[in-house]
A and B are shown apart, each in its own frame.
Chain A
Amino acid sequence: MSSKAEVSLTSPQKDKQKTEGLGVSVWEVRPGERDYAKLSDAPAKETNRYGKRIDLIDITHANTSPNRSMNINGKNRVGDNPNRNKQHGFFFNADNCIGCHACESACSEKNNNPAHLAFRSVGYVEGGSYPDYKRMNISMACNHCDDPVCLKGCPTGAYTKHAEYGAVLQDPETCFGCGYCTWVCPYNAPQLDPVKGQVSKCNMCVDRLEEGLKPACVSACLGNALDFGVIENTPQNREQAKTQIPGFPSPEITQPNIRFQQTKSLPDQMVRTDSSPIKYEKQNGSEFTSTVDEKTDKTRLWSLSKLSSRENPLVIFTLSTQAVIGAFLILLLGSYLEIDSFVSIKSSALYLPSLLALSVIQMTVLFLSTLHLGKPLRFYRGFNNLRYSPLSREAFAIAIFFGCLSSFTLLSFIELWLSHQWLSYLINASAGIAIVSGLIGVYFMHCIYRIEARPFWNHWQVLSSFFASLLSLGAGLFAIFAIPAILLAGDDISQIIKIAASLTLLGVIGEGLGLIFHARYLNQDSGEGAAAHYIQKTLFGKSYLARNALMVLACFLSILIIFTTNNSTQSLVLAGLLICTVFIYATVGRALFYVLVIPTTMPGAFFWKNKRFEQHARDIGLTDMPQCGVVANTH
């Protein structure tokens, strides 16, 4: 606190000394700089509207000095802004924005961003009927949130929330390009560059701030729409500082440091020009909520080729990992319970090769998932943020699972010609840790998708689906190894098939129940969720129905196996059929899971930040011209 007093007591004379004295400037101030570009140091409030302290020194590490340098570009400069350690934020006057792109281009120019990347983007919503028509432009960058979900989500720890200005800065050199921050951010702030394979984002122009200037975008604004300052200070000549305008996601998710003015009356319905099937409807009062915009008609399509996306490696990774964990779990539990068939499996010559196969599958998909990274060689950074990131935790748990699975396999091989009590302790320990870490891993795998900015995912159905796959796919995978093993041992396979079918049935029912509750939630909860469901029922309508039908078939087949057959050939055929059915519906289902998600991101423009145009540009080869602002998908 004493240091705080020191700052506020600084006399103007001292100020001057400071400007000249403390460090080499980090940004060259223009000769004759105008007031619009200068930070104004109005007295700040104590706390923001969420009750968070605005002076960040009070809530940082005890040894943090208010006058330490941010070390921008290796320079030891310390800005002399008395509000330096207070949370700053953008102010956007939606009444004034003319959509002239000056903010975006000033930002891109300053940050040397290529055409396909932008730290700030302008999109719009529009409504009304000619000439009673209104377009509302929204310029949006990073909101340097109180609760930076990007920072918490990032597995590499590339993000820092600084006490200086409350800036949330990301270090591209730490990032390994998983893109998870781009999933969790509701505002599209982090930008994943497919060319460089790493994320970068708005840096609040802290270099300019340290020299007493507002960020480049604000300084460039030609509509007098953008402003910047200590949060909760309404700029001069502005009458409102609210947290929501149509098109802007709920501020509850991250408590973003942005305030809006939007006083002009808008039509009851504001639509987006981009391809997102979302529109915004006025509720009682002036608040808008997102609802489905049925942009195409209700025709049901297959769109099978569109099921394939850049998240394909994740489809394979999640399904395979769940299957491997499930199969291993079944194998171990069966052996532990000393069920006849399991004893016979364990004694089979195929037992060890099967274990080896499980390890190899797990290793392959782990490898595949690292290839999904922008910078695969940096994969080891994935465990840097166990404290906050579900991705780190999942990676860690699955890594342990894999380690234990492979050591279990290795030790089991060793046990062939070496028998020792310690060896069996080690084998049991490996098995136990593998099971626990595998289950924990699947739990955290589900946590990855519980993202508020992605309502389609943010439901317990993810958990039920992942554990259902663990059971049904795990049983299938188990059966694929177990049946030949038992046949080789010359034993009866009907028991193992019935066990596997029962577990599959449990999985199918679990998956089905989850989906029923999920559909109900989608239709009620949010516009983005409902929009995803709309796409599910139209663009993927036939694929969706087929998947559901296959689940019913899987149920039917399982029941048939459990209750009717004793004939081994018949049950073998049915089991084969069941495994195929489960495999197909699970793959289609997981693919849908990834392609359907509609984030609560900002509205785009007609070309820029319009997913459909981006896809079109890739399809027709516009991407050969880099100045079109779209690059080809590299994954």
Chain B
Amino acid sequence: MLFGRKNIKPIVIPEKRVAHWSYATCAYCSTGCSIELGLDSSGKVITSRGNAKADVNRGKLCIKGLLEHELFDSKGRGSEPLIRQHHHEPFAPASWQQAMDKTATAIKTIQEKHGRDAFAVVSTGQLLTEEFYTLGKLVRGCIGTNNYDGNTTLCMASAVSGYKRSFGSDGAPGCYDDFDKTDCLMAFGSNLPEQHPVIYWRLKEAREKRPFPLIVVDPRVTMFAQMADIHLAVTPGTDCVLINAMMYVIFDENLADTAFIEQHTKGLSELTKIIEDYNPKLAQKVCGIDEDTIRSVARLYAKAATAMSIWTMGINQSTHGSDGVVNINNLNLITGNIGKPGGTSLSITGQCNAMGTREWSSCSGLPGYRALENPEHRQQVADFWGITPDFFPEKRGLTETDIFPAIETGEIKGLWLVATNPMTSMPNTSRIRKALEKLDFLVVQDSYSDVETNQYAHVYLPAAIWAEKEGCFTNTERRINLTRKSVPNYANSQSDFWIFTQMAKYFDHGSKIPFPPSPELAFDEMKALSKGSERLLDISGMSYDKIEQATGIQWPCREGETGQARLYTDGHFPTADGKANLIGVSFFDNNEKPDKRYPFWLNSGRVVEHFHTRTRTGKIGNCNKFSPIPYMEMNPDAAKKLGVKHQEYVRLISRRSDAVAMVQLTHRVAPDMVFVPFHFFDCVNRLTLGLLDPHSRQPAFKQCAVRIVPVDQQEAEQLSLKRRHF
């Protein structure tokens, strides 16, 4: 010891006496980080750590994952079922039996009176895959409504649609390992450091070992944009124009991979015909990126030995999200960058199990990437479940974003919401509020009873959360990973798996279709259903123990195999003729754009410390403290003109409604744009328009127009406070 102290001072450092580490996969985003939960000798979760053996995160976790173990007994957890006659009455506690009886009766009554499709189910990307599969069985096989969707329509539908259109199937063809192989990476509307920090770290590691150019397309100077070699501050909603212009240059300068195009794609002539109109000279006026830069980026991308694209909501949440995905695929197909290590179209997914719901929930079809439109698939699933195929509709029903308008028009009378919070997450929430008000029956199944949508519920079912349950998630790179049950259910909550299984008993088909008693047995069922050499989504080579042993396995994983890092490596695509589709995309500008009355673009997005509608992260102090109230990024020059000051509240007004936020002045945003995080209740989504993509029905959250007006500071602060009462 220095400075003269002779006696040793005791050193006390908080010690976590972990008796047992339990295996889990993070339940926030889709990165798929492997977590070990530390339990003390009494079985209480006291800490967690990244799993150093897992390939995905290699021991790293982001802020949310690091603190995720604190959520089990966080504020607002639902402790018992609640029921009431009308949404304006107070809830009364009920037994599970009463709550389930009431729900089943309501579903049947509505269906008898108004038809099977008058009751809709909207689920999530948060459940375990076995639960999705069971929910699909319940909804498609027992309840029999065709108006069944997941909230993944708000985040991933465009990627799914784009993949299906280009390659014939959903499923990201690439993986994180591509970062270590690629020679050029282009990111469209993706802010990895904020949204997927661990994926960013994988990319950073790769770039530190072997530098390669990084191009980031984003209208905002995000941290990712700042770390890029080239940042393209594109005009909102014009990514198609940029990509078309790049492809124009690639064809014009003979940089395309003609051999790949010829062997593995079709539709070239239609594509080139459309692209002819996108000379960078003209395109630059639309997308805001100058001709030289377009040419330089196109050359860089096409000349790289391998190049890959990643994208997130900047592409998906747009009126042409599906087209945007298709166009990214086009870019990669014409440069021969699909199915190669380092050459791929990698959609960075949103929720922890967005992939699981796409694969197994039967939302957009039938389990295991099967389509309702395909009679063979209907037959296979009906046989497997032991019912007749004519119980299934022959076409997919409404998506989440069409279900709410159908409530508005009176076609849908009842709704079951599973782990989703449309009162905060859907665009134009005043419309959603009105729709929910109108329902004859709403059942909300969530881990949190303070989830805002619960305001309109007739029945609330408290669900268990994360490691209170057991089952799998699939991550961005098709890796299935496991969460073991390590803690008892909170209070009187039940796993979603149990709820679905119990609910099935109320329906005729519930006794015909087998509902296995445990998630692992359901997983075995899925394995059997996935088997087939022609099937892309084959998980028959997996088991819980194998998954834990390998810290996650990527599908396809056929019996006796260990999983496949990439899809389409043989250049064969799951289309009718085995070739990928080149689909030309024409730009059509239908966005609500800034004008004199509403002079600002409104952009929304995520912050690293929060997840979705803050039901979880809003209660974990060491997450929430970094943004406890909603704020708005605004350009200081624009603010000066309006007399708007840093750290004061303003009112934003759109053609839908208004919202209050605290102003953060920063040159991160353009003078004609403001950015508001989407996590906060009664904030940005009161303003958003959410025009729907024609293919995916995903809303364009990120493009609409607002004006900004001063507001009485005291009134605003009280309003802001009141809207965040937990």
Closest CB of chain A to B180's CB: distance in Å? 15
Residue from A130, A203, A388, A625 in contact with B11 in the complex, judged by beta carbons closer than 8 Å: A203
Residue from B3, B208, B233 in contact with A151 in the complex, judged by beta carbons closer than 8 Å: B3
Bound CA span A365–B624, Å: 40
Pair A131/B231 contact, Cβ less than 8 Å: yes
Bound CA span A474–B619, Å: 54
Pair B647/A160 contact, Cβ less than 8 Å: no
In A39-73, which residues have CB < 8 Å from any B CB?
Answer: 56, 59-61, 64, 70-73
Pair A616/B208 contact, Cβ less than 8 Å: no
Chain B proximity mask over A95-127: 1 for CB below 8 Å, otherwise 0: 010111110111011111111100000000011
Bound CA span A337–B231, Å: 81
Pair B1/A174 contact, Cβ less than 8 Å: no
Asked if A251 CB lies within 8 Å of chain B CBs, one says: no
| Residues of A close to B67: CB separation below 8 A | 105, 108-109
Pair B3/A161 contact, Cβ less than 8 Å: yes
Bound CA span A60–B5, Å: 9
Q: How many A-B residue pairs have CB under 8 A?
A: 238
In B4-23, which residues have CB < 8 Å from any A CB?
Answer: 4-6, 8-15, 18
Pair A37/B666 contact, Cβ less than 8 Å: no
Pair B628/A625 contact, Cβ less than 8 Å: yes
Residue of A128, A129, A160, A605 contacting most chain B CB atoms (<10 Å): A160
A100-B63, A135-B226, A273-B666 known; A130+B1 contact, CB < 8 A? no
Query: What's the dominant secondary structure at chain A's contact region?
Result: loop
A207-B13, A616-B717, A622-B628 known; A135+B609 contact, CB < 8 A? no
Asked if A483 CB lies within 8 Å of chain B CBs, one says: no
Asked if A626 CB lies within 8 Å of chain B CBs, one says: yes
Pair B227/A628 contact, Cβ less than 8 Å: no
Pair A203/B59 contact, Cβ less than 8 Å: no
Asked if B198 CB lies within 8 Å of chain A CBs, one says: yes
Pair B52/A171 contact, Cβ less than 8 Å: no
Pair B666/A126 contact, Cβ less than 8 Å: yes
Residue from B12, B198, B721 in contact with A620 in the complex, judged by beta carbons closer than 8 Å: B721
Closest CB of chain B to A30's CB: distance in Å? 4
Bound CA span A605–B625, Å: 11
Closest CB of chain A to B629's CB: distance in Å? 7
In B691-726, which residues have CB < 8 Å from any A CB?
Answer: 717-718, 721, 724, 726
Q: Which residue of B lies closest to A157 (CB)?
A: B5
| Residues of A close to B61: CB separation below 8 A | 102, 106, 220
Pair A98/B193 contact, Cβ less than 8 Å: yes
Asked if B664 CB lies within 8 Å of chain A CBs, one says: yes
Asked if A230 CB lies within 8 Å of chain B CBs, one says: no
Bound CA span A109–B60, Å: 14
Which of B328-336, B541-549, B667-675 forms part of the interface with chain A?
Answer: B667-675
| Residues of A close to B231: CB separation below 8 A | 131
Closest CB of chain B to A532's CB: distance in Å? 20
Closest CB of chain B to A240's CB: distance in Å? 15
Asked if B639 CB lies within 8 Å of chain A CBs, one says: no
Asked if A295 CB lies within 8 Å of chain B CBs, one says: yes
| Residues of A close to B221: CB separation below 8 A | 130-131, 133, 135
Chain A proximity mask over B661-687: 1 for CB below 8 Å, otherwise 0: 000101111110000000000000000
Pair B622/A220 contact, Cβ less than 8 Å: no
Residue from B11, B58, B66, B667 in contact with A109 in the complex, judged by beta carbons closer than 8 Å: B66
In B566-617, which residues have CB < 8 Å from any A CB?
Answer: 608-609
Pair A628/B624 contact, Cβ less than 8 Å: yes
Closest CB of chain B to A368's CB: distance in Å? 30
A100-B193, A128-B667, A130-B671 known; A629+B10 contact, CB < 8 A? no
| Residues of A close to B50: CB separation below 8 A | 30
Pair B201/A224 contact, Cβ less than 8 Å: yes
Bound CA span A130–B53, Å: 42
Q: Which residue of B lies closest to A63 (CB)?
A: B6
| Residues of B close to A134: CB separation below 8 A | 226
In B123-151, which residues have CB < 8 Å from any A CB?
Answer: none
Pair B197/A220 contact, Cβ less than 8 Å: no
| Residues of A close to B609: CB separation below 8 A | 101
Pair A135/B6 contact, Cβ less than 8 Å: no
Closest CB of chain B to A350's CB: distance in Å? 50
Bound CA span A172–B643, Å: 47
Pair A223/B3 contact, Cβ less than 8 Å: no
Pair B2/A622 contact, Cβ less than 8 Å: no
| Residues of B close to A157: CB separation below 8 A | 5
Pair B60/A220 contact, Cβ less than 8 Å: yes
Which of A439-447, A449-457, A580-588, A607-615 forms part of the interface with chain B?
Answer: A607-615
Pair B227/A33 contact, Cβ less than 8 Å: no
Residue from B66, B193, B233, B668 in contact with A223 in the complex, judged by beta carbons closer than 8 Å: B193
Pair A114/B668 contact, Cβ less than 8 Å: no
Asked if B223 CB lies within 8 Å of chain A CBs, one says: yes
Pair A126/B667 contact, Cβ less than 8 Å: yes
In B290-316, which residues have CB < 8 Å from any A CB?
Answer: none
Bound CA span A613–B619, Å: 19
Asked if A148 CB lies within 8 Å of chain B CBs, one says: yes
Q: Which residue of A lies closest to B205 (CB)?
A: A224
| Residues of B close to A20: CB separation below 8 A | none
Bound CA span A59–B197, Å: 43
| Residues of B close to A606: CB separation below 8 A | 627, 631, 647, 664
Asked if B635 CB lies within 8 Å of chain A CBs, one says: yes
Residue from B15, B59, B198, B647 in contact with A33 in the complex, judged by beta carbons closer than 8 Å: B59
Pair A59/B2 contact, Cβ less than 8 Å: yes
Pair B6/A608 contact, Cβ less than 8 Å: no
Q: Which residue of B lies closest to A158 (CB)?
A: B9
Residue from A32, A73, A148, A622 in contact with B12 in the complex, judged by beta carbons closer than 8 Å: A73
| Residues of B close to A64: CB separation below 8 A | 1
Bound CA span A33–B54, Å: 10
Bound CA span A199–B565, Å: 50
| Residues of A close to B562: CB separation below 8 A | none
Closest CB of chain B to A393's CB: distance in Å? 16
Asked if A74 CB lies within 8 Å of chain B CBs, one says: yes
Closest CB of chain B to A188's CB: distance in Å? 16
Pair B622/A33 contact, Cβ less than 8 Å: no
Residue from B36, B62, B621 in contact with A114 in the complex, judged by beta carbons closer than 8 Å: B621
Residue of B221, B618, B619 contacting most chain A CB atoms (<10 Å): B221
Asked if B377 CB lies within 8 Å of chain A CBs, one says: no
Residue from A33, A36, A73, A148 in contact with B3 in the complex, judged by beta carbons closer than 8 Å: A148
Bound CA span A275–B647, Å: 9
A135-B668, A629-B621 known; A73+B13 contact, CB < 8 A? yes
In A386-420, which residues have CB < 8 Å from any B CB?
Answer: 387-388
| Residues of B close to A627: CB separation below 8 A | 75, 618-621, 624-625, 628
Q: Which residue of A lies closest to B198 (CB)?
A: A222
Given contacts A61-B4, A102-B60, A627-B624, 17 further A-B contacts (CB under 8 A): A30-B51, A30-B59, A31-B53, A34-B52, A73-B15, A102-B61, A109-B66, A126-B667, A131-B221, A161-B3, A173-B12, A219-B59, A222-B204, A224-B205, A275-B647, A606-B664, A628-B625
26 contacts between A and B (CB under 8 A): A30-B36, A32-B51, A32-B59, A33-B59, A70-B8, A98-B193, A98-B194, A102-B66, A111-B13, A115-B622, A131-B221, A133-B667, A134-B226, A151-B3, A162-B2, A203-B11, A205-B13, A223-B193, A223-B200, A237-B208, A620-B717, A626-B621, A627-B618, A627-B625, A628-B624, A629-B626
**Interface on A for B, CB 8 Å cutoff?**
26, 28, 30-34, 36-37, 56, 59-61, 64, 70-74, 96, 98-102, 104-106, 108-116, 126-131, 133-135, 148, 151-152, 157, 160-163, 166, 169, 171, 173-174, 203, 205-207, 219-220, 222-224, 237, 273, 275, 295, 387-388, 605-608, 610, 612-613, 616-617, 620-622, 625-630
**Interface on B for A, CB 8 Å cutoff?**
1-6, 8-15, 18, 36, 47-53, 58-63, 66-67, 75, 193-194, 197-198, 200-201, 204-205, 208, 221, 223, 225-227, 231, 233, 608-609, 618-629, 631, 635, 637, 646-647, 664, 666-671, 717-718, 721, 724, 726
10 nearest interchain CB pairs?
A629-B625, A115-B621, A32-B53, A98-B193, A627-B621, A628-B628, A131-B233, A222-B201, A161-B2, A105-B63
